[in-house]
Structure 1
Amino acid sequence: MAERILVAVIDSGVHPDHPHINAARLRPGFAIGTDGMVIEQGAIPLDRLGHGTAVTAAIQEKAPEANILPIRVFHDALRGSAMALASAIGIAAQQGAHIINLSLGTTNAAHAPLFADAIAGAPDALVLAAAQADGVPCLPGSLPGVLGVGLDWDIPRETFQWRDGQMIASGYPRPIPGVPQRRNLYGISFAVAQASGFAAALAQVHKTPAALRAALSSPPATA
């Protein structure tokens, strides 16, 4: 059997009992403190915020055969440290992640050197992150070596577009029956997650970052 693609989801953890989550595809993960040190490993880091679960669900919807490595950097709120994020990228690379999903980011340019070093330490992974936030370049998504993702509300969730070197996807997560889209979580986080899901589905064939980027640059036509 071919090796399964491993997607590292650096976020708030995951809730394995959520109906949109296939727990069989979750690998034991990590929790990272604000100082960048591992504070939990060897188990699934449980999500207390819901964000990481929704992000993981969006990825699994697009790539149900991929394995997921959850790495929690958000604990009590959707705020974390640059050191924790850089450490998480390094751990994802060490664990052999093919794709690293970063449905997060910062506009603080002071963190660029730290993130650039972390990305350089993950040459065998395709890292996806938001390219900008409200028109301001976002880190690490705007750095070389990262596949930046943009948001377009008019793109159907079933596909993506390629514009100016960026993947552009819908900002809506996997829908919850009976809940209007705008009452659910939504935004650039989910454009990134859906882009990672599309990438993971293609990565089963195009396993190197360079080959995967080439494949992604010819996306399917809009449905």
Structure 2
Amino acid sequence: QFRFLHISTDEVFGSLGDDGFFTETTAYSPNSPYSASKASSDHLVRAWRETYDLPTLITNCSNNYGPYHFPEKLIPHMIIKGLAGEPLPVYGDGKNIRDWLYVEDHAKALTLVLERGAVGETYNVGGRNERTNLHVVETICDLLDEIAMSARGPRRNLITFVADRPGHDRRYAIDASKLERELGWKALETFESGIAKTTRWFCDNRPWWQAILDRGYERARIGLG
């Protein structure tokens, strides 16, 4: 039976304060052109459901990471630069918080929603793994040092703070209770186990990401303007 699953992001909800979580009923408040485009796509999907009875489902997820993550993104970007002994640029004060979701946990959630979710419903998917960006980078440094200590010393010394990027929301945190309660899903990876697997994968699979860099990608972070 045909179903249309629209995969969206928690960025459509805007930025959180020091506490609280995004739920399926949180009002939309996108703060960047990217998040505004994602919010508009959510609304378009709902409009097709209401107007033409298209059997739609929507998921809004937190930050994904894991094997095959595109090198431009924070975690692989830092792993690759750390392996090369290059400076590790952290935006602002490094205290922006994201909820990290291991890619295999996300894939399992999507399968459950597609197969068993209620048509017309929205489900939030989060890892319950809030970490500051600085903590993420420091953890990667420590893992890389365990795998292959640099002759230049601890990789934490490579961390540098740079001007914040435009539209950089302070905190995201997902409440995935609906998905857990109704479909029995639960994230299996902790941040510590997932980031260890991810770091090891990038260390062991240099040909994959090196080929992307060799095609002309210069590792410039998107969004600097």
Q: Which has the larger radius of gyration?
A: 2
Structure with more of its chain in strand, by fraction:
1
Structure 1 and Structure 2 fold alike (TM over 0.5): no
**Structure with higher RCO (Cα < 8 A, 6+ apart):** 2
Please classify the TM superposition score into its range, dividing by the shorter chain length.
Answer: under 0.3
TM-score (ref. length: structure 1)? 0.26
TM-score (ref. length: structure 2)? 0.26
